[in-house]
Structure 1
Amino acid sequence: MGQMTTSPSLSIRPYRPTDLLSLYDICLRTGASGEDGTHLYRDPLLLGHFYAAPYATLYPDTTFVLADDTRAVGYVLGVPDTATFAARCEELWFPVLRGLYPLPDPDDTSRDARMIRAIHRGIGIPDQPWLAQYPAHLHIDLLPDAQGGGYGRKLMQTLLAAMEARGVPGIHLGVGLTNTSAQGFYERLGFQVLERQPAALVYGRRLGEA
């Protein structure tokens, strides 16, 4: 997919391996429910190890970045099939990380410890009937300076078009229950609630339908 210009200074383009460190940075700086999470983690790489890098590394063709002339300032990360992604992570991504990050003491309730436990658990596959119709999932994050200019919508449209081109039937994502602005954003893009959880809503959108 070719470059799509969105402004004189920012453009959406396919992911490049040289973007990886920027993805780690964006993931951390939006890692507190969209706010800067830098102060919350002793290890600044932990969030990106789980929520950004495996997507971009294993599925670069469905990873897109919003970038200026020097670096990425936002991204959308998607995988066409959640179960396949989970299996590939178990084979190719998590084994090395589990060696680098042993399981913490059970009494350790820090955010670092929680993320390390997530790395050891692996990618969760929703045990829900809707998964067959919405097998893909995504994450999207933009740094504050890149928000509010319509870039989030353009990133989403770029990813959804790429998923449709691959014949993906539907895509899902999770949104915090209190994050009403994000809920409105996804609803305006045609997403509908698939499941209500204690702390989150799962949204889904069918693809390839007129």
Structure 2
Amino acid sequence: MTLPVQRTAFIRKYNPEHDLQAVIRVFRETCDESLKIEPIWTLGYYIWCRPYLLLSPESCFVVDDGKGEAVGYIIGAPNSGAFCERWQEEYVPYILPELEHLPPGPGRGDEASLDIAYRTNSLGISIRSNPRKLVLGDYPDDLQNLGHLHIDLLPSHQRQGLGKHLISAFTSAVKAQGCTGLFLGMAAANHGAAKFYESCAFKRLPKVLDDGKSGELGRTAKNEDGGGTIYYVIGL
């Protein structure tokens, strides 16, 4: 009798020749629900995933399911200000042709469709001309000298310790590149993510960001859904 071979998931460097489509799938499956409609879905990938794979591949790691398929990733950059400069100089010329051929939106003419059209236009403008806003938000003075990251895992591979291994691999890589600290922004309502980052030694940005309305460190003003963004930082 032949027993099935058990394959254990592990962390490895991102391989652009093999992993791109799998990373796109992970992004599309794990991104916020508000992004899951075209062309916002594709623009979200152009903002929060593709530039890192192109400009900072040495800082990109994936979770390999043990059979060669990427089922999670961590991407980012060791210096956010320098990354924004490269975005403008290198990424914009690269992505401009793609922005001219986005997937069509719903096009129904109702309020929801008009909102999608507005968001599409706004995100497209930011990709072309304002990467600092996309990366650093309203706090460039606090964040531009830090590195930053994005991490996503398919549900099938969450709660197995793989997220912490991704964080460890990424922090070691960017520290070797001279990074002295990292930041990330997350939806304030995502309490599970907050617990995860705090378990990895991230702390809230030590600054009240909403003019004292909440009194909470690291939290921006509440948005329409009442949440806002919480910024976390860690020293390396």
Q: What TM-score do the two structures reach when normalised by structure 2?
A: 0.73
Residues 113 and 93 of structure 1, relative CA distance in 2, 3 Å threshold:
farther
Residues 41 and 9 of structure 1, relative CA distance in 2, 3 Å threshold:
farther
Residues 115 and 151 of structure 1, relative CA distance in 2, 3 Å threshold:
farther
- Using the alignment, how far apart are the partners of 1:206 and 1:26 within structure 2? 28
* Residue-by-residue CA offset, 1:9-68 (whole Å, 9 max, x unaligned): 3110001112111111111100126x9x65x33575332221111101111110000012
Judge conservation of contact 1:75–1:141 (CA < 8 Å) in 2: yes
Are residue 108 (structure 1) and residue 114 (structure 2) matched?
A: yes
Percentage of identical aligned residues = 29
Match among 76, 79, 83 for residue 77 of structure 2: 79
Match among 142, 145, 160 for residue 149 of structure 1: 160
Query: Aligned letter for 2:57?
Result: P
Q: Which has the higher strand share?
A: 1
Give ranges in structure 1 of 5+ residues lacking alignment. Answer: 1-6
Q: How does 1:47-86 map to 2 (within 5 A)?
A: 47-68=44-65, 69-86=67-84
Q: What is the deviation of 1:116? A: 5.3
The size of the alignment, in residue pairs, is 195
Residues 131 and 46 of structure 1, relative CA distance in 2, 3 Å threshold:
closer
Task: Identify the residue that residue 13 of structure 1 maps to in structure 2.
Answer: 12
Residues 165 and 100 of structure 1, relative CA distance in 2, 3 Å threshold:
closer
Task: Identify the residue that residue 169 of structure 1 maps to in structure 2.
Answer: 180
Residues 182 and 43 of structure 1, relative CA distance in 2, 3 Å threshold:
closer
Q: What is the deviation of 1:97? A: 3.0
Judge conservation of contact 2:40–2:120 (CA < 8 Å) in 1: no
The DSSP-based 3-state class of the residue aligned with 2:114 is coil
* Residue-by-residue CA offset, 1:99-147 (whole Å, 9 max, x unaligned): 4435999x8311x752553242132235344326x51000000011111
Judge conservation of contact 2:43–2:123 (CA < 8 Å) in 1: no
Task: Identify the residue that residue 187 of structure 1 maps to in structure 2.
Answer: 198
- Give me the CA root mean square deviation: 2.7
* Residue-by-residue CA offset, 1:123-173 (whole Å, 9 max, x unaligned): 2235344326x5100000001111111101110111111122222110000
Residues 83 and 21 of structure 1, relative CA distance in 2, 3 Å threshold:
same
- Using the alignment, how far apart are the partners of 1:108 and 1:98 within structure 2? 23
Give ranges in structure 2 of 5+ residues lacking alignment. Answer: 1-5, 108-112, 206-217, 222-227
Residues 180 and 149 of structure 1, relative CA distance in 2, 3 Å threshold:
same
Q: Which has the higher helix share?
A: 2
Task: Identify the residue that residue 197 of structure 1 maps to in structure 2.
Answer: 220
Residues 95 and 116 of structure 1, relative CA distance in 2, 3 Å threshold:
farther
The DSSP-based 3-state class of the residue aligned with 1:137 is strand
Match among 158, 173, 182 for residue 169 of structure 2: 158
Judge conservation of contact 2:76–2:147 (CA < 8 Å) in 1: yes
